[in-house]
Chains A and B, each alone.
Chain A
Amino acid sequence: MKRHIHIQSNALRAEITDKSVFESRRAFIKSTAMLSAGLMLPSLGQAQTESTSNLVITAREHATNYTNYYEFSTNKQDSTELAKPLKTKPWSVEISGEIEKPGLYNLEDILKANAVEERIYRFRCVEAWSMVVPWLGFPLGEMLARFKPTSRAKFVEFTTLYNPEIMIGQHSAILDWPYVEGLRMDEAMHPLTILATGMYGDDLPNQNGAPLRLVVPWKYGFKSIKAIVKIHFRETMPDTAWHKSAPKEYGFYANVNPEVSHPRWSQSRERVLGSSIFTPKRATELFNGYGQQVASLYTGMDLTQSI
């Protein structure tokens, strides 16, 4: 009984103090309805599971002050302050490789061609915590299609900005900078995969990956690369930053899977950010609850091997 009241008061306070959330509530409601409608399109086959609808949005304060952004710091609170000097305007993205229209594109021009919508996703970190974030973004696939990938484009490789003068974490060799992530072409083209430019009805804060980041909701958070400066189409699987640093611990696919433990910890449960200290962890779901939409991408693959 007591616990229940506690959660309610938390939610209430988050709504009152959080101006941007409050202001964008109407937008939320509208876009949530749009999203649900969108997900029921025949192209996606099935409706959302219960676990990925009715998501309780994490307080903005938590989502913006608990970030893994090793380019700035290995401390999740410190990146908020340290990322402030990063200039995100102007910003250009190099698009190259197996496509018909390679080149250096101004981010503003890319954004003009893509309608921004809100997507509320659960975000599950490989460190066994999760949050629910209302992202603003557009489907990656729609954007990629415009650059006309050739038949040899089998993978997409993303690269984060390399600028050690501002990204001071890049001075220490904990990862092989710049950060590189990648997706198989079908994963990149999947309608759930988005490039985000904002969250909570506002622009992305620097520490959350401004001005442009990937969000792949059925994969562990480290796949969702921040501050993207390069998108490269290639025929072979790219070697990604965490895989290079610890190949036995982090694979290319990194699909959320409660049955496949990290070599050093269990993945079967996750701590929901912002929950009270007496709230138990929630059970982690296969593909982070997006299995109905994405499981078919991995038919015939051994998920315990292709981590």
Chain B
Amino acid sequence: MVSSRNKTRILKALLIFLGLVPALLLLQATLNEQLGANPIQTLHFRLGDWALRFLLLGLALTPIKIITKQAWPLRYRRILGLLAFFYASLHVLVYVVLDLSGSWTAFVDEVPKSPYILLGLLSYTLLVPLAVTSTKYFQRRLAKRWFVLHSLVYFAALSACLHYMWLVKLDISLPLLYMGLLVILLSIRVVNFYRNRMV
């Protein structure tokens, strides 16, 4: 028999592995030049997609907890959050190092002209302190303040969705889908919050 503690460990390892699969596939596609006519943009967009997906998955755990009344979903929150941060970091890195070729001149010229890039940078900036303080040490040390700090994730997710919506030329159906999911996930928390208060 596998103890429940070991089961959680195995599931966590599996989750990390699965979470890294898209990155490995993208690396392979990049090395084999299978990303089409505009490989940097394709790579950049796909990394952004995965960052947003993991961010939303991470934000889905509390609603799952609320609905199932089980505590286990919260055990995987940190991994999903860190995977989101991992893909967001690669997304930013590809933009700065490959798309702008690491040129400061290009950065200063292009970024201020793009409101959606500024919004994306804001979203990423909000994620950095969350990733840094994601350890048990900071959780203990910051105590209550940790939860206040980590509520920044709602703003990071909102600005990430808006960032996506703003860059699209016309067809905003996909960014709207992400935004819709985020609104549903956040509403479950809000409803639960008020219900608990009434009780």
Chain B residues positioned under 8 Å from A76 (CB to CB): 37
B180 at the A/B interface (Cβ < 8 Å)?
A: no
B32 at the A/B interface (Cβ < 8 Å)?
A: no
The complex places the Cα of A245 from the Cα of B113 at a distance, in Å, of 21
B101 & A274 in contact (Cβ 8 Å cutoff): no
CB distance from A265 to the nearest CB of B (A): 5
Contact of B109 among A245, A266, A273, A280 (CB under 8 A): A266
B98 & A277 in contact (Cβ 8 Å cutoff): yes
A92 at the A/B interface (Cβ < 8 Å)?
A: no
B98 & A273 in contact (Cβ 8 Å cutoff): no
A18 at the A/B interface (Cβ < 8 Å)?
A: no
Within 8 A of A (CB), among B107-121: 109-110, 113-117
B170 & A266 in contact (Cβ 8 Å cutoff): no
Within 8 A of A (CB), among B147-178: 166-167, 169-171
Interface size on B, residues (CB 8 A): 25
How many pairs of residues, A versus B, come closer than 8 Å at their CB atoms? 67
Within 8 A of B (CB), among A267-281: 268-269, 271, 273-274, 277-278, 280-281
B103 at the A/B interface (Cβ < 8 Å)?
A: yes
A281 & B169 in contact (Cβ 8 Å cutoff): no
Contact of A265 among B30, B41, B43, B110 (CB under 8 A): B110
Q: A271-B38, A274-B37 are in contact. Are A265 and B109 (CB under 8 A)?
A: no
Contact of B37 among A127, A172, A174, A273 (CB under 8 A): A273
B37 & A277 in contact (Cβ 8 Å cutoff): no
Interface string of B73-111 (1 = CB under 8 A from A): 000000000000000000000000011010100100110
Nearest B residue to A273 via CB reads B37
The complex places the Cα of A254 from the Cα of B110 at a distance, in Å, of 20
Taking Cβ atoms with an 8 Å cutoff, the residues of B that contact A are: 30, 36-41, 43, 98-99, 101, 103, 106, 109-110, 113-117, 166-167, 169-171
